[in-house]
Structures are given as C-alpha cells and as structure tokens.
Structure 1
C-alpha cells in the first residue's frame, strides 16, 4: 500500500481476440496447476506499479502451461508521473526479459522524464518495446506526493484512460479491466464503458479487511465518520493527537493494533481527513466488484477461516470474491533494475562471515527518514561494530555524522542502490532493517531473513504487527535512536534463533503449498471470468 512510495495506481486491461467472443472453444482453459491461454491477447494499462504480483502471476502460469505455437501475450503498460521508477516497473520488465524472444511484449511507460531515464537502458537490450505516455496535468516542477497525485487521478487522468478504452474496445474486444483499488476512479471509467471489472489489492489481505471494515468500525464507535478515533481512544479534534495510548482488536481474529497504526492516521488533521476520504472513496467505488485479486498469501493472517466465513455470509453484491495470487514471484530470476545498482556490495558480501551482515534499506525511496533519524541510525550501526550494507540515497546523506563514511569504511558499506534480491539471498546477511513495505517483507521471507522493523507510513504498521506478533520473525524498534538500533540488532542477531526457525518454517510453507494455492486461485479467477463473459467453463480447479 501504499504510501511508502507514491505508486498509487494500477490498471490492467485484458483483451481477447474477436474470435474469442465469437465462440472460440479453447479460449481460456483451466488445468489443474495453472491456466492455459489459447488465442488470447492481454493489454496492460498500469499506473504507478503495484501490479508486480499480478504480472508475475501471469508469468508463472505461462511458464508452466504455455502451449507451443500459441499466439503471443501482448502487454502494454501506461504509467503517469512519479518521481522514480518503482518496483512495479522492475517486475513488468522482468516479464519482458523472461519471455522475449519467444513472446513479444509491448511496455509503454510515462512520463517523459522517466522515459528518458529508462528507455535507452531497455531498448538497447530488448527488442519489441515501445513507449507512450498518458498526460497527468502536472507542471514540470510541481511536487508529486499523495495529495497532488490523488488530485491528478480524479481530475486529469480519467479522460485519457477513457480515450484508451474507447480506442481498444471499438469492436467489443476488451473482456475485463483489472483495477488497482488505489486507482478506484478507473472502476467508474471501465463501468461506463460497460466492461467487466475486477479489483487488485497490492498489499496484505489483512489491510484490505481493515479498510473494508471502516463502516463497521464507525457503527461500533471505534472511529468517527471523519476517521478519527474516539470513545476509548480520544483524539483532540484540533491536533489529531491521541490523548490515550493503547491497542485495540479492530477485527475479530486479527492481532491487536495500536490505535496509531490505522493507515489514514498520518500527518496533520487535514491530511488525515483527506487520506480517510481517499479510503472511503475507494471502498465505496469497489462495492459491487465481483472479483478481487490480492497480492498476498494465505499465511498472512490467523483469521483466514474467519475471513472466508465472512465472505460466504456477506452479500456478493457488496463484496468481491477474493483470490490470493501471491507468492507467484517465488524463486524468480534476478529482477532487472532501472536504478544504477552498486554491484560491488555483492562481492563485498563474499568476504564476510555467514549471518554477520546487517542489511538496511527503506525501499524505493532509498532513505525516507528525517536527517535526525539518519544520524541516529548511523551512530547505532557504528556502535554495533558489525558489518553492514546501507542503501541510502545521496540526498539523504546530509544526516550522516562528519567523517562517518571514513570511520566505518572497514566494515560498513553505504550505497545508493543495491540488487536487493541478491543481497537478501546472500548467506552473509543475517538481519534486515526494513520499513516493512509489503514487497520487501515477502522478499525477506523468501530469502529466510529475520527483520528489524521501523515502519514509516500506511500499511507498514499493520505489516509490522504481523511480522512481530503473529509470525514472530522480527523485532520492532522502539524508535530510531542509536541505542534502540543497537539493542534491536543485538536481539535479532544474537538472540534470534527462534525467529530464524520461524522464518524458515514460513518460507517452506509459503514456498510449496502456497505457490500451488496461488496458481489455482488465478486459474479459478479465469474460470469465473469466463463464466461471466461466455457462460461456461471447461475444468474444475480446487483451491
């Protein structure tokens, strides 16, 4: 989710050849362990990433079930303005790398400054990729943050997406639009074009359930209609600061959450209200969607049975059928990066002892913490006297103490960007200091690494709660103070034997049965889509 970086939109347009809609008998054929696509074209219109799970799901299915001489899968992605390429760009590009030259894919990316940054890198090595842009209304020097992007989504982008859909759907070729729920405006655009819509949720199923429960939380008096807490956990109406600290079980069967961990309680009072309205708008627009694809796995909550019970008893008019489509990225090849990676850190790791290195990264923002916290984190890492790799963008390095890089040069390495998957898989890495972004969390589990957590925004606090309290594969730092950093590292690195056992067990569970469940969920979704569009299906899939 969500606010760890401004990738707020994602839309996939799945297109079938006209022959499909005119009775082609082998359009979507579900098989036991995947999906067989015959005579199918898929076009992707993506805004701001968040579709990595879905793209890799398509990749995995095709990897295991693609038929020789089958017509190619064509993917087009359109991405509006943001300040840097996101991890979503990387995974879509990974799909291109895997399937060219056998499967020509078309990746179309915006805006111009991102096009200029990445086009030469991609086009120099991969044929068959073209680039377009969708205007977003931003001035060249206008800041791009949660609020300006939200405005652009609501006021500038819909007409351009409408034009795209109109052009693609002249002969009724668009069979489904899959919309990232953070791009909820696209639901209305697709519906106005009378095209079936499925939702895509880029984070944990637990965070979706939390957002979905907002009306119930209001009814029970846990939050006010503006999203502010009251009754047991009162908020000052002016400042929005909690007057009473504590935890609350907002949903039955889910872990206790701090009241401050609700995703919209970020920033000042006005900002919190805008965020809450954003979530309410997404929730209201998504009501009535028949399907929801979730970038998550069944292990993401103890209350899975409770959730399934709710799904079966709630009206399908208001709530979608859920398909958890992760972890189909498991054991994927190394992701290409649109950032300049410092690969020297991998060679550096080769010279370190097993499980001795601390890896520090806060995701695509490469350092989204205040300068004071950079200073404290730097001193905390230094005081551990342990080897570390710290991904820290140049513009955040003003917070480093004077002479710091020279002092730690024997055992510390600060880089602007690292090949994260390779680093996490390396046997020398024993601890990952993370912001608890969802994709980073899944990568850490895949690589069997313990976590030292410092959530910053959005769903990261919920993710952290699961990491620490439910899965018990990490520790949350009390603050970013130097002594808290040193204490947290010591607890994870020296006293984390049980944590290591837990993360390895979780890795094994998710990496075996979880992959099969995810594939079958996608196959079942294809069946449901076909039933909706064509009225019949050809195979039964057990999930």
Structure 2
C-alpha cells in the first residue's frame, strides 16, 4: 500500500446497487494509493460502514420516499432536486472540520447521475470529477439523444426498430438507450442535465479499459475538453478478500454446488438488482433452462418477477424433477461465481458491472437486455466484441433452449466465441499490469488531482479555487 498522501477524497455514489458497487471499489483503489476516503451517501440504500472501517461515512437525508424508487425516472429527477441542500450542508461541515485541517480535501468524485453535485462543488470552489459507472460506448449513444429526436426515433415505432443508426453503427433503433415512459420530456431533461454537468466537471473516471473501448474514447475526446481516466476493471485492482458492497445477503452455498460440476458445464443466470420480468417470461425461462439439459445456477431476486414475491410461479415439483441439475438462490457472490471453472455461460441483462465481470473471466454471454444502456452493451457483446449471443426474439422456451445449446457447444460458433472471450480476458489482465493502460491512467489520475494544489496560493488551503482547477485542465 502506498504511504499516506495527506489528502482526502469525498466520494458520492448514486444510491442504487449497480452504482454503489463501482464507487466503493474506486474508493478502495484510491485508498490503496494513499488517500483518505469519505463516503457521502443517502439514507436510502446505505452502504455498510462496518465493511469499510478504513473509510469515513457521512449520511444525508435524500428526501425521496422509498416507494418512489420503483419509478426510476422520477426517482432520479427527485433525487437531484432534494439532495442539493443536505449535500451542501454536509460538504461544508466536512470542509470546515478538524479532520480536513489535517487532511485537506483534494477533490469530490460523484456519480455522473448525481449531477446536482456540480452546482454545490462550484459554490464551494471544490474540484469535481465524475465517475461514470456504465460503458463508454453507451455514453456516446446518450450524447446522440438530440439526433434520436430529430430522426423521429422517439417515440419508438415498431416499423423502424431494425433500422441501423449509421452514426452509431452497429446499433439499430431497438438498441438505443431508451426507456418506455409516458413522460419522454422528463427523460430528456434527465439526460440533458446529466450530460451537461458531466462536461462541466474536471474529468471523467471510467470503469473500463482502452483495449475494450478505444473507438468510443476517441469519439469522446472530440466532444470533451476534459481528461478521461479509463482505469477499469475496478474489481480486478482489488484482492479477492476485499469487502463486499452488496446490499443483499449473498448465498455462498451456490459455490459448493458449483464445486460438484465439471468445467464449463453450468449456465449462470442473473438479471441484476433492478430488472423485472413478467410471470410468463419467468416460466418460459424456467422451462427453457430445464429443457436445455445443462445444469444451471439461477439468481431469482425477490422482486424480479412482477406480481410475485419469489418463485411461486414455478410449476409444482419443478426443481425436484431436475434431479440436482438446477439451483435457485436469491442472490449470489457474482464475481466469485463467474470466476468458477464450472461456469460455461452467463445469461445476463447486460448491466455494465455484469458485462465487465463476465469479460474479465472469459465467460461467454447470453444477452437479454431490459432497458437503457443494457441494450447498447448487448449489441456490443454480440456484434463488436463478439463474445456472446443476444436473445432477439420473444422469451420462449424453445428459443431459450436453442440459444443455450448453441453457446454451450464445444465446437463451431461456440468455440469461436469462447476463444474471443478468453482473448478479451487476457487484455483485461494486461491493462492492469505495470505499464498497462489502466494502471497508467490511474497514475495519471492521482498526479492530476495532486496538481490542483500547485495552483493555490496557500498549499494547505481547504478550498481549491475553481479557476485554478480549470487551469490544471488547460495545462493537461
């Protein structure tokens, strides 16, 4: 571990599992580089401070009821309105604290979707860098949102779903990061603010690596005047003993179940912490998995099936009739599962954390995106990196059985996909070694933040004037 650098970083995650995980992983990376860490979080989906005794935690009231969190669009909009004052009060106290006098605050890192933090940072003359927890390629697609409106892709019409968006090839209209909503203007407002305040920041940290997304990085460099730091995959910077940031209790028994199966024989199925499917889709998935004759480990999160508590919709005696070929758990230690030799394929919603974790272990994917950037990720998995197959048709047992059988084959197309997945895994490992792209980018990030101090008139000052931070960008 690096020696202490006498500087503190304030980190603010978006209070959703898929955003908390990478932010806390980033916090551990920065701590290992010698910085002290304070996590500013909301009362909703609070991380567990006991898992991170080396961090300081500060909680703010977010003012949005838990029932509103089921409506993701309005939850995000309300969060960015109601968190402004409590966040400002919290940061002001931290900057004036005795702790800050010993370890001056060097920077604020906030989730890019917490765009309200930019105005607070400006007001307090505090440099702000954002963490974007999704793929760089999906961000490029978000930037093209005005084009979607101009072309008439919104609202989406069935007759143009297969049409290619030439500026974003190989994306089709059906792959654009859109959501089904009766309030499209609200979605546009969210994206407009999120993109504007990301550009207003002093830099962007990406949980990705150059070897995976260099074309998207080049495109962004033409749009942005701020530096980019692709330092991912975050979780691979850390030891396997690092604390878990899961908000849901993980069922470790599934690892022992995997131990009883031969290499590359099990299909792992998980749709993340937010996605939801219908009861009909759930039953079709169950029969498709069973009929494939391959062993499967299926994460059925409470709340995954609309209108059901858990697995009540399964046919009577379903698991018993599988004679041990299937296991269902409420939540799994996913990184450990994907690293297990028994796992031969990952059926995923293509959230970015899941996609990147699968790439890092060389596990081919079956893609079933649900909304927004997941659709972009799925298209890249199947048609750019070509390390998986996408379920293009309806969720029906015959199609599910077919796609599993295709991907789990030891020859033909499946072998080519597996070979490409293993090659991409190797690239993910190389980027983190000394001299690798992500390792070098992390060193550049640390140097960049420390350079802010050299532009202050008083090196020990708690406040770093924004104009000096902007000069650091110009010099960069």
Normalising by structure 2, we get a TM-score of: 0.83
> Which residue of 1 is the match for residue 347 of structure 2?
433
Evaluate the alpha carbon distance shift between residue 431 and residue 93 of structure 1 in structure 2; reply closer, same or farther with a 3 A threshold.
farther
2:385 maps to 1:422:
no
- The equivalent residue for 1:156 is 82
Deviation at residue 47 of structure 1 after TM alignment = 3.4
- Structure 1 residue 259: deviation in Å? 0.6
Q: For residues 42 and 212 of structure 2, what CA distance do their matches in structure 1 show?
A: 29
Identify the residue that residue 208 of structure 2 maps to in structure 1.
296
Structure 2 residue matching 1:380: 3-state secondary structure: helix
Whether the 8 Å contact between 1:358 and 1:388 is mirrored in structure 2 is: yes
User: C-alpha separation between the residues in 1 aligned to 2:395 and 2:67?
Assistant: 32
Would you say the 8 A contact 2:9–2:107 is kept in 1?
Answer: no
CA contact (8 A) 1:43 1:76 kept: yes
Which of 236, 242, 252 pairs up with 1:343?
Answer: 252
Q: How many Å separate the matches in 2 of 1:143 and 1:441?
A: 24
Q: Which moved more, 1:511-520 or 1:383-392?
A: 511-520
Q: In the alignment, what sits opposite 2:164?
A: 248
- Asked if 1:520 corresponds to 2:474, the answer is no
| Other-structure match for 1:325 | 231
Partner of 2:120: 189
Distance verdict in 2 for CA 1:35–1:292, change over 3 Å: farther
Change (3 A) 1:527 1:48: same
How far apart are residue 500 of structure 1 and its match?
A: 1.0
Asked if structure 1 preserves the Cα contact closer than 8 Å seen for 2:9 and 2:109, the reply is no
In structure 1, the residue matched to 2:56 is 106
CA RMSD of aligned residues (A): 2.9
Partner Cα distance (1:286, 1:150) in 2? 16
Change (3 A) 1:57 1:397: same
Greater CA drift, 419-428 or 172-181: 172-181
CA deviations 1:118-153 (Å, max 9, x no partner) are xxxxxxxxxxxxxxx322223465554313422431
Preserved CA contact (<8 Å) 2:10 2:107? no
Of 378, 381, 384, which residue of structure 1 is paired with 2:286? Answer: 378
Q: Which residue of 1 aligns with 2:63?
A: 137
| Cα displacement (A) at 1:174 | 3.4
Q: Is the 8 A contact 1:176 1:197 kept in 2?
A: yes
Contact 2:352 2:377 in 1 (8 A): yes
Partner secondary structure for residue 303 of structure 1? helix
Change beyond 3 A, Cα 1:326–1:523: same
Q: Is 1:505 paired with 2:423?
A: yes
Distance 1:472 1:47 in 2: 31
Q: Aligned equivalents of 2:21 and 2:56: distance in 1?
A: 16
Inter-CA distance 185–416: structure 2 relative to 1 (3 Å threshold): same
Once the 2 structures are TM-superposed, how far is the Cα of residue 213 of structure 1 from its aligned partner? 3.4
Provide the residue aligned with 1:531 in structure 2: 451
Q: Is the 8 A contact 1:35 1:61 kept in 2?
A: no
Structure 1 residue 76 corresponds to structure 2 residue 76: no
Contact 1:297 1:514 in 2 (8 A): no
* 2:462 equivalent in structure 1: none
Q: Residues of 2 paired with 1:39 and 1:392: CA distance?
A: 45
Q: How does 1:210-249 map to 2 (within 5 A)?
A: 210-215=141-146, 217=147, 222-224=148-150, 229-230=151-152, 240-249=156-165
SS at structure 2 position matched to 1:399: coil
Residue-by-residue CA offset, 1:369-402 (whole Å, 9 max, x unaligned): 1111101100101111211111113424233223
- Residue 209 of structure 1 and its aligned partner are, at CA, apart by 1.8
> 1-side partners of 2:260 and 2:444: how far apart?
47
1:59 aligns with 2:28: yes
- Alpha carbons 2:369, 2:375 under 8 Å: kept: yes
Separation (CA, whole Å) in 1 of partners of 2:207 and 2:217: 18
Match of 2:400 in 1: 485
Distance 1:392 1:291 in 2: 38
Q: Please, which runs of 5 or more residues in structure 1 have no aligned partner?
A: 1-33, 67-71, 109-132, 538-542
The count of residues paired between Structure 1 and Structure 2 equals 436
Gaps of 5+ in 2: 303-308, 460-475
- Asked whether the 8 Å contact 1:296–1:327 carries over to 2, the reply is yes
Alignment equivalent of 2:300, drawn from 380, 392, 400: 392
CA distances 1:394-450 after superposition (whole Å, capped 9, x unpaired): 424233223322222421111111222222111111111110111111111222211
Q: 1:44 aligns with which of 11, 16, 21?
A: 11
Classify the secondary structure of the residue corresponding to 2:249: coil
**Structure 2 match to 1:128:** none
1:148 and 1:107 map into 2 onto residues whose CA distance is 27
Tell me which protein shows more helix as a share of its residues: 2
Which of 389, 398, 402 is the aligned partner of 1:475? 389
**Which stretch has the larger CA shift, 484-493 or 193-202?**
193-202
Summarize the Cα distance change of 1:327–1:497 in structure 2 as closer, same or farther, 3 Å threshold: same
Name whichever of 504-513 and 204-213 sits farther off.
Answer: 204-213
Query: Could you list the per-position Cα deviations for residues 138-191 of structure 1 after superposition, in whole angstroms to 9, with x for gaps in the alignment?
Result: 346555431342243133211100101221223884332222111111111211
Check whether the contact 2:133–2:207 (CA below 8 A) recurs between aligned residues. Answer: yes
| Contact 2:11/2:110 (<8 A) preserved | no
Separation in 2, partners of 1:385, 1:521: 45
Provide the secondary structure at the position in 1 that maps to 2:138. helix
Q: Aligned-pair distance for 1:62?
A: 5.1
CA contact (8 A) 2:364 2:421 kept: yes
